[in-house]
Amino acid sequence: MNKDLIVSSTPQETKVALLEDGAVAEFFIEREAHRGVVGNIYKGRVTRVLPGMQSAFVELGLERDAFLYVADVFEDLDENLLSPEEQVRNAPIEERLQEGQEVLAQVVKEPLGTKGARITTHVSLPGRYLVFMPTVEHVGVSRKIVDDEERRRLKSMLKEIRQERGGGGFIARTAGLGRSREDFERDAGYLTRTWDEVRAVGCRQAAPVLLHRELGLVQRLLRDILSDNVGAIRLDSERDYQSTLDLVRELQPELAPRVHRFERGNILEEHGVTTALERALRSKVWLDSGGYIVINQTEALVAVDVNTGRYTGKNKLEETILKTNLEAVRELVRQIRLRDLGGIIVVDFIDMEERKSRQKVMAALEQELSHDRSPSKLLSVNEFGLVILTRKRVKQSLERILCQPCPYCVGSGMIKSVATVCSEIYDEVKKLAPDMRGQALLLRVNPEVARALSGEEAGVLKNLSLLVGAEIVVQADPLLHQEQFDVVPRS
C-alpha cells in the first residue's frame, strides 16, 4: 500500500492528511493555541484521593485536573518483600498517594468533553526504533514483527543494551525490523538522556510544571510511520519543508528525495483532502453501488447503520446484501480512521441469512482493521448483522475538533416542527386571551412559521382571532429562531 503525507501549515495550525493509494485515510490537526498534551510529562500535585473509585485527581497546570487510576501508579517497593508484584497489584490507592503529594506523570489520553486528561506514572518515551520505559524491567518486541528468528535477535540485543544502560525497559518498534545494533544503541542513548534531563528538571521545579513536551505533529508522524512505503511527503510551508527534509535525512536518508515543496494553489484541495473532510462531517456516507451508511456519535458509543439505498442488485437478494455489506466494510473502516472514532462502535449490517456471508463480512472487517494503527477488537456478531467493536481512543474525534454544538438546535440535532410551533402559539394566546379580549395583536414569528400560518396552518390563525375577538397580524422576522415567537398588543 502506497502512502503519501500531505502537510498544510499556517502560523495558527498544522494540518496533515495520510493518503493510502490516493484516498484520505487519516487526518490530523494541531492548533498552536490548543496543542495536544498526550505524551507530555508533568510534575503534578495530588489534589484528591478517592478510595471508593481507587483513583486520584492530579493538578498538572491544565484547565482540569488529570485522572490517575490505581493501576497506573508506580511505587518503589522494598527489595526484601516476598512478592512485590502481588503487593503492587493489591495496594490500595490511599496507601500509595496522599493529598498534596508530588508525582511525575505522563498524559496518555487527551481531555475529552468535561473529563480531564488520563495520566500514568509509568512513563514511556518513544524513539524511532525503540520505546523506553524507565519504571519497568521489561524487554519486548512489537507484535507486528512476526518472524521468530528476528524476534529472538531483537530481544537478545535489547537485553544487552538494557544491561549496559543500567536498567529500564525497552520495546522494539515495528520500524526496528532488520535494523542494526548501532541504530538501537543510538536510539537508546537519546531516550535515556531525555529521561535523565526530565528527572533533573523535575528535581529543580515545583509542581505543577511541564517537564517534557511531545514532538510536534509532523515530527511525530515521521517518527512513527516513515518507511519505504511512504511514496511522497508534500508540504506547502518553506519552514516545515526544510525542517522535515532535515529530519528525514537523519531518520532515513534514502527517503529524502521523496520530500517535496508544494508551491501552487491549495495543497489540501489539490489532493482531495477538503472534499474528504466535508464528507466525513456528514452523518450519511454514500457508497459507490448506491447503498449508504449512517454514522451517529453519542456520549456512550458510535452507532453505524448500513442500508442498500438505491442499490437493487442483479440476481439474488443475498448477493445484493452481501455486496453492500462488503462495500460498507471498506468505507466504514476508512471513516472510522478518518473521523478518529473510538470507544464502543456498534455496526448494524444488513441482515444476512447465510452463515458464510456473515463470515465473509467479518473476515473483510478484520482485514480492513489490520491497516489501522489504533488498536481495535471485534467483540461479537450475530445472525441479525449486529457487530460490536472497540477502538482505542486517545484524543477527540474529527467532529469534536472541527465542529461545535449547533446553537440553533442546542446540540440535539433536531428542532420543533412548524406545526408544533403553531400549536404552542395557540396555547400561549389562549392563556393570554382573558386579559386581551378585544385587543388587536401582533404575532412576530420566524418566516417559516409565518408561511405556514398563511397556508396549511391558516386555521390556527382563524381560531386565534375568534379567541381574542380581534384581528391578529402576523409579522415574519428572520432573526427569530424557528421555535421562538412574540405575542404583543398592536398600538
User: Using H for helix, E for strand and C for coil, what is the string for the chain?
Assistant: CCEEEEEEECCCEEEEEEEECCEEEEEEEEEHHHCCCCCCEEEEEEEEEECCCCEEEEECCCCCCEEEEHHHCCCCCCCCCCCHHHHHHHCCHHHHCCCCCEEEEEEEECCECCECCEEECCCCEECCCEEEECCCCCEEECCCCCCHHHHHHHHHHHHHHHHHHCCCEEEECHHHCCCCHHHHHHHHHHHHHHHHHHHHHHHHCCCCEEEECCCCHHHHHHHHHCCCCEEEEEECCHHHHHHHHHHHHHHCHHHHHHEEECCCCCHHHHCCHHHHHHHHCCCEEECCCCCEEEEEECCCEEEEEEECCCCCCCCCHHHHHHHHHHHHHHHHHHHHHHHCCCEEEEEECCCCCCHHHHHHHHHHHHHHHCCCCCCEEEEEECCCCEEEEEECCCCCCHHHHHCCCCCCCCCCCCCCCHHHHHHHHHHHHHHHHHHCCCCCEEEEECHHHHHHHCCCCHHHHHHHHHHHCCCEEEEECCCCCCCCEEEEECC
Average pLDDT of span 165-193: 88
Do residues 72 and 28 share a domain? no
pLDDT band at 415 (very low <50, low <70, confident <90, very high): confident
Nearest to 21 by CA among 33, 46, 4: 4
262 and 294 within one domain: no
Q: What is the pLDDT of residue 83?
A: 41
Instruction: Report whether the peptide linkage leading into residue 208 is cis, meaning its omega lies within 30 degrees of zero.
Output: yes
Q: What is the mean pLDDT of the chain?
A: 88
Q: Is residue 333 part of a domain?
A: yes
Say if residue 139 is in the same domain as residue 267: no
Q: What is the pTM of this model?
A: 0.73
Instruction: Give per-residue pLDDT as tens, 281-320.
Output: 899 999 988 889 999 988 789 999 998 887 666 667 888 8
Segment 339-390, tens digit of pLDDT: 999 899 999 998 888 888 888 999 999 999 988 888 888 887 666 668 999 9
> Does residue 226 sit in the same domain as residue 207?
no
pLDDT value at residue 124: 93
Alpha-carbon separation of residue 400 from 180, 285, 476 (angstroms): 42, 18, 35
Q: How confident is the model at residue 43 (pLDDT cuts 50, 70, 90)?
A: very high
The pLDDT of residue 81? 37
CATH code of residue 463: 3.40.1260.20
**Is 167 or 260 the better-scoring residue by pLDDT?**
260
Closest CA to 393 of 7, 113, 20, 71: 113
**What pLDDT shows up at residue 295?**
94
Which pLDDT band, with edges at 50, 70 and 90, does 402 fall under? Answer: confident
pLDDT at 89: 54
Could you give the CA distance from residue 47 to residue 57 in angstroms, rounded to a whole number? 6
In this structure, is residue 90 part of a structural domain?
A: yes
Cβ–Cβ < 8 Å for 29, 48:
no
Residue 411 lies in a domain: no
Q: Are residues 322 and 450 in the same domain?
A: no
Residue ending a domain, among 402, 430, 453, is 402
pLDDT at 20 over 80: yes
Same domain membership, residue 69 and residue 192: yes
286 inside domain: yes
434/472 same-domain check: yes
Query: Phi-psi region for residue 418, left (φ > 0), alpha (ψ -120 to 50) or beta?
Result: alpha
Q: Is residue 476 domain-resident?
A: yes
Structural domain harbouring 199: 41-212
**Is pLDDT at 85 greater than 70 in this prediction?**
no
Contacts of 255 (CB under 8 A, 6+ apart): 226, 228, 230, 248
CATH of the domain at 26: 3.30.420.60
Structural domain count, the chain = 4
**Whether residue 31 has pLDDT greater than 50:** yes
pLDDT value of residue 88: 47
Tell whether 117 and 220 lie within a shared domain: no
The residue among 274, 292, 317 that closes a domain is 274
Question: pLDDT (tens digit, 9 = 90+) per residue, 219-262?
Answer: 889 888 888 888 999 999 998 899 999 889 887 888 999 999 99
Integer Cα distance of 139 and 160 in angstroms: 10
Residue 465 lies inside a defined structural domain of this protein: yes
C-alpha separations of 357 from 200, 293, 333, 386 in Å: 59, 19, 19, 13
In sequence order, the 6+-apart residues with CB closer than 8 A to the CB of 474 are 443, 445, 450, 453, 454, 461
Q: Which of 197, 212, 227 is the last residue of a domain?
A: 212
| CATH code of residue 126 | 2.40.50.140
* Block residue for cell numbers 449547533: 406
Q: What is the pLDDT of residue 10?
A: 87
Looking at residue 420, its pLDDT comes to 93
Average pLDDT over residues 96-106: 93
Q: Are residues 392 and 467 in the same domain?
A: no
For 108-163, how does the pLDDT look when each residue is reduced to its tens digit (9 = 90+)? Answer: 998 887 889 999 999 999 988 899 999 888 899 998 888 999 999 999 999 999 98
Question: Are 350 and 434 in the same domain?
Answer: no
Residue 87: the pLDDT is 45
Q: Is residue 412 part of a domain?
A: no
Residue for grid cell 488529570? 66
Question: Is 115 inside any structural domain?
Answer: yes
Range 434-463 average pLDDT: 91
Q: Is 77 a residue whose pLDDT tops 60?
A: no
Give, in degrees to the nearest 5, the angle at Cα 21 between 17 and 23.
50
Are 205 and 63 part of one and the same domain?
Answer: yes
Q: What's the pLDDT at 19?
A: 94
Residue 208 and residue 91 share a domain: yes
